[in-house]
Amino acid sequence: MLDTLITGLIHGNAYALVAVGVSLIFGVTNVVNFAQGSLVALGAMTAWWLVVVGHQPLPVVIIGVLLVTGAVGYITDLFAVKPFGKAPPIAALLTTFAASMILDRLSQLVFEPELRSFPEVLPTTNLSIGGVRFGTSDVVMFGLTLLVMGGLAVYLRYGRTGRAIRATAQDTDAAQQMGVPVQRIRTISFVLASALGGLAGIFVALYTGSTSPTAGMTIGLTAFVAATIGGLGSIPGAVVGGFVLGIVEAFGVYQFGDGVRDLITFGLLILVLVFRPAGLFGKVSAIASEPMTGTFLGAGREIRLNAWQWTLVGLIAVVAIPLLASQPMLAVANQVILYAIIAVPMVLLGGSAGQISIGQAAPVAIGAYTSAITVMDLKLPFLVGLLLAGVVAAVVATVLTLPIWRLTGHYVSIATLGIGFVAVSIIRNWDSVTRGAYGITGVPGPRIGDLRLTSAGDYYWLNLAVGIITLLVVLRLRSSHLGTIMASVGSDEVAARSAGVRTRDYKVLAFAVAAFFAGIAGSLLAHENRYLDPTLFPILMSTLALTIIVVGGITSPVGAVVGSIVLVAVPELLRLTPDVRILLYGVVLIAVIRFRPQGLWVRRNA
């Protein structure tokens, strides 16, 4: 037990060091900075290059990393945070996520994505307690964590700029009226947190013994969980949250194996959010002031097509594409439609009910596995599996998320992210049903009666039919009395609640509808791909679906289709590599939120 505890403390130390930067930025800007993990990975890769290629000593490496990551942090703030200072926090959250995608992909293009051994600039295994070997690097990292926490506490309490940072964090408007240069203080905080992230990257790489430009997302999400557990905005909370997460994770992995790591990490996140939403050291008042609900987009009117324009669209979809497109092009069209099926109902949740979900891959995965198991093991027809996929996805996703809808602020969206990881982790570890990490092979193709669908062209007609039904159902719901009530929740939740509207119930209903159609899309994906495994449902699937509705117009179902064409079809048609494609997603997302926040398919009101 002692060795497990020590392992947990070492892990937690690494988490804590990264989480400090996350909490610092949140405390000052009310922004959840998803780019922090990318800065940690960039710091580690910069350190690797300076040591291996530049042959520099550790002090020079540290100075170089601080300068590089601080400069990148300044640029990130300049383009992805500062322009959205007066927008609701959801805008900057999305743009920092986009910045994370951009930084990760640029780092891969510069350094190459391979995993590299990190040189031992400090001993890593020269000490031992209770049979657990660790090194001077771990001791230095622990001291550094304490130094950072203590140094920040002193700086924020006694330093002139530090007091300005505290004033900005407590009340931005009051600080501005007292002459505090709020925007400059926010930029300083962002640069400081970015530099701390780069410094943390050196010691995280020393601890793991390796580094890679692709590690940013994993590091960032884990540190984000640690910061949330401790209380976003609290520096001591970030440190304590890191150690708590490290210890719980170590004992969980010791008991159940490494495969449950994500389940433990994000399961703990959800438990903390449900029972102590502000975290161990956070303040509830801070949460209430940072709404993650309501559309941050500019007011506007959805672009309407007249009869002849709809006829032209129909001719393209029904005649031109099937007749003229090659098999590879039809495969691209199928991807567009599948993502449209996922994204269109999200308009009800994000555009009408005003709640963002960043875990939509969960119901897609649930639907995919439900349909495959229904058809393969229970020997039921494909159409039965298709419908069951939607129903089971809606029920399971709703039950999993039911406790989170009483939360407010950022934390509902954060919890949906956790639910996404928990659902996929359960699938990965439920070997007796899902075949675990090995996945399910030999999933039969779609069959309707005696008609077997075997080609991309066959799949296109099936997907198109389901896509049209999805679009019509969502359009009908939005124009109904139910849709009007949902829209009132998204427009002004407080006013809706005052009028007697049970806002929580309508958000749950919108989420269930979105989960139902996501499950349907999962079923189509499973039977058309002919195989399943948990890697098909990464966080990128959730973020791409969210990006699609933001680009098309979060209030427009037709805009979701347009967004799917822009973000799925265009990169495929241009034959962009995956790295360049994700880089494009990030750039497009920031550009749309900055210059056309209402979306491509919505006109701005005059």
pLDDT score at 292: 44
pLDDT tens digit string along 292-338?
Answer: 444 454 456 888 889 999 999 999 999 999 988 889 899 999 999 99
Per-residue model confidence (pLDDT) at position 400: 86
User: Residue 127's beta-bridge partner residues?
Assistant: 134
CA dihedral in degrees (448, 453, 458, 463; nearest 10)?
A: 50
pLDDT at 198: 92
Q: By the 8 A CB rule, do 367 and 518 touch?
A: yes
Q: What angle do CA 75, 596, 352 make, to 5 degrees?
A: 115
> Which tokens is 225 given?
């969980």
Please report, rounded to a whole number, the percentage of residues in the chain having pLDDT higher than 90.
Answer: 44
Q: Domain boundary at 216, 247, 281, which? A: 216
Q: Is pLDDT above 60 for 289? A: no
How much is the pLDDT for 8? 87
Q: Nearest 5°: phi and psi at 499?
A: -85, 5
For 444-490, how does the pLDDT look when each residue is reduced to its tens digit (9 = 90+)? 999 998 899 999 999 999 999 999 999 999 999 999 999 999 999 88
The answer to whether residue 34 is domain-embedded is yes
Q: Round to whole Å and give the CA distance between 540 and 314.
A: 31
pLDDT for 313 equals 93
On whether residue 255 sits in a domain, the answer given is no
* Torsions phi, psi for 55 (to 5 deg): 55, 45
**Do residues 206 and 343 share a domain?**
no
pLDDT at 88: 64
Domain housing 185: 11-216
Whether residue 483 is found in the same domain as residue 362: yes
At 87, give phi and psi (nearest 5°): -85, 160
Domain count, the chain: 2
Average pLDDT over residues 507-533: 96
Model's pTM, two decimal places? 0.89
d(CA 482, CA 37): 41
pLDDT single digits (tens) 370-412: 999 999 999 999 999 999 999 999 999 999 888 888 777 667 8
pLDDT of residue 89: 64
As a three-state string, the secondary structure of 478-519 is HHCHHHHHHHHHHHCHHHHHHCCCCHHHHHHHHHHHHHHHHH
Over range 165-178, report the average pLDDT.
Answer: 77
- Whether 322 maps to a domain, the answer reads no
- Residues with Cβ < 8 Å from 164, sequence gap 6 or more? 175, 180, 181, 185
Whether residue 394 is contained in a domain is answered as yes
**Euclidean distance between the first and final Cα of the chain, in Å?**
66
pLDDT confidence bin for 152, thresholds 50/70/90: confident
pLDDT in tens, 48-66: 999 999 999 989 999 999 9
Average of pLDDT values for 190-197? Answer: 91
User: Considering just the CA atoms, what is the radius of gyration of the chain in Å?
Assistant: 24
pLDDT of the residue at 606: 54
Name the domain boundary from 537, 561, 592: 537
| Residue 588, domain member (yes or no) | no
* Residue 261, pLDDT above cutoff 60: yes
Burial per residue of 43-78, b for 16 or more beta-carbon CB atoms within 10 angstroms, e otherwise: bbbbbbbbbeeeebeeeebbebbbebbbebbbebbe
Q: Tokens 């997460």 sit at which residue?
A: 245
How confident is the model over 552-571, as a mean pLDDT? 91
Q: Is residue 156 part of a domain?
A: yes
Q: How do residues 416-449 score in pLDDT, each as one tens digit?
A: 888 999 999 999 999 999 999 899 999 999 999 8
Domain end, chosen from 216, 243, 262, is at: 216
Same-domain status, 361 and 500: yes
3-state secondary structure 131-182: CEEECHHHHHHHHHHHHHHHHHHHHHHHCHHHHHHHHHHHCHHHHHHCCCCH
**Residue with more model confidence, 135 or 108:** 108
Query: Is 404 domain-assigned?
Result: yes
Nearest-5° Cα angle at 476, 461 to 336? 35
Q: At what angle do helices 503-529 and 327-343 cross, to 10 degrees?
A: 160
Mean pLDDT of 25-40: 85
Q: Is 589 among the domain residues?
A: no
* Digit-coded pLDDT (tens) for 10-20: 888 888 888 98
If asked whether residues 212 and 335 sit together in one domain, one would say: no
